Amino acid sequence: MATKKMILDLDTGVDDALAIAYALAAPDVDLIGIVSSYGNCLIEQAGANSLKLLELLGATDVPVYLGLGHSSTTDHFDVMQVSKDIHGNNGIGEVELPPAKRALEAAAGVDFIIEAAHKYAENLIFVPTGPMTNLDAALAKDPEIANLIGNVTFMGGALTVEGNVTPFAEANINQDPQAADRVLRSALQITMVGLDVTLRTLLTKQETQTWRNLGTATGKAYADITDFYIDAYYNLGIDKTGCALHDPLAVGVALDPSFVKTIDLNMKVTSDDNNYGRTIGDNARLNEPTTNVKVAVDVDKDRYLGVFMDYLTKLFK
């Protein structure tokens, strides 16, 4: 049993699948639960995907909860076509995994976050890799958790590079910018792992072939899932050399902040028509003596990829 405990908040697509594997393989943390979100797929699909992947990885002791199925300002959510193109219609590269034996938990994901914050306090690491809707709802229901959770490291945003859905906005933040703005303005201690660093951290078919060569069902499944993602990056012209390790990089940084260089800022998210979903420093708090967000702006991609491959290859054997 590790001292540090982790909750993943996932809209389980391909890179989320890799994030689950990283969290399970890391020796210095216990993955105590997954809260499902929306984005790469609908929330029910995300929950089912997480359960299937946990079973594939032999981690049936990890519970999966449903979070909120749409943003704080809408009454429904529709998956964007580009998300289907990148992650497949089922979110995991059109790879069909057997139905999981374990069911989704009856308790609400927001309540699980609050309960875990009170139980583990500074030893709790919370890693959202989709929209901030669930964390925002948990803060609204129990504001005290902002002073309890020890580490929030999220995948999302773009500060020094362009967005991936608009010139300013990254997809996760763009799903619920109002929720993200409230989270970034809270008392939480936060690290932003955005496109600034994730787009530099690439996986190729040379690495997925390593998993295939293991000759295991897990290695093959993860290679198939990830190769779909790599092919989508190529076909859509996102990157011709490999796929970005968005979500697993956030898990890695949550456990080892030395993977990235950061700058300290008080951040906000804009939601006006011209800058919808933009993550940017807040001028109104620019000269405040303390900051609560560390923004990753550079990454030791070679060292991270080495640890990533070591962890996952051992897990898939």
Q: 268 pairs with which residues across the strands?
A: 280
Residue 205 pLDDT: 97
Residue 274 pLDDT: 87
- Sorted by sequence, the CB contacts under 8 Å of residue 225 that are 6+ apart come out as 14, 17, 92, 93, 95
CA angle, 173 as apex, 171 and 178 as ends, to 5°?
Answer: 140
Residue 24 pLDDT: 98
pLDDT band at 56 (very low <50, low <70, confident <90, very high): very high
What is the count of structural domains for the chain? 1
- Sorted by sequence, the CB contacts under 8 Å of residue 134 that are 6+ apart come out as 9, 35, 37, 67, 68, 109, 110, 113, 128
Q: 99 pairs with which residues across the strands?
A: none
Residue 137 pLDDT: 98
Q: Which of 130, 227, 208 is nearest to 170 (CA)?
A: 130
SS3 readout for 2-47: CCCEEEEEECCCHHHHHHHHHHHHCCCCEEEEEEECCCCCCHHHHH
Mean pLDDT, range 142-151, rounded to an integer: 98
Measured CA to CA, the distance from residue 37 to residue 35 in angstroms comes to 7
| Cα–Cα separations (whole angstroms), residue 203 to 153, 185, 195, 207 | 21, 33, 15, 7
Model confidence at 167: pLDDT above 90: yes
By CB atoms closer than 10 A (0-12, 13-18, 19+), residue 111 is middle
Q: Which of 76, 265, 96 is nearest to 189 (CA)?
A: 265
Asked if 242 and 230 touch (Cβ cutoff 8 Å), the reply is yes
Who wins on pLDDT, 1 or 54?
Answer: 54
Mean pLDDT, range 106-123, rounded to an integer: 98
Residue 273 pLDDT: 86
Per-chain mean pLDDT for the chain: 97
pLDDT band at 227 (very low <50, low <70, confident <90, very high): very high
Mean pLDDT, range 19-33, rounded to an integer: 98
Residue 239 pLDDT: 95
Residues belonging to the chain: 317
Check which CATH number belongs to the domain holding 75 and give it: 3.90.245.10
| Cα–Cα separations (whole angstroms), residue 26 to 21, 74, 153, 294 | 9, 37, 16, 23
Q: 65 pairs with which residues across the strands?
A: 35
pLDDT band at 249 (very low <50, low <70, confident <90, very high): very high
Residue 35 pLDDT: 98
Continuous H helices in the chain: 14-25, 43-56, 81-87, 109-120, 133-141, 171-175, 177-184, 195-198, 205-212, 217-235, 246-255, 301-316
Measured CA to CA, the distance from residue 162 to residue 180 in angstroms comes to 18
**Domain boundaries, position 229:** 5-316
Model confidence at 146: pLDDT above 90: yes
Residue 120 pLDDT: 98
pLDDT band at 72 (very low <50, low <70, confident <90, very high): confident
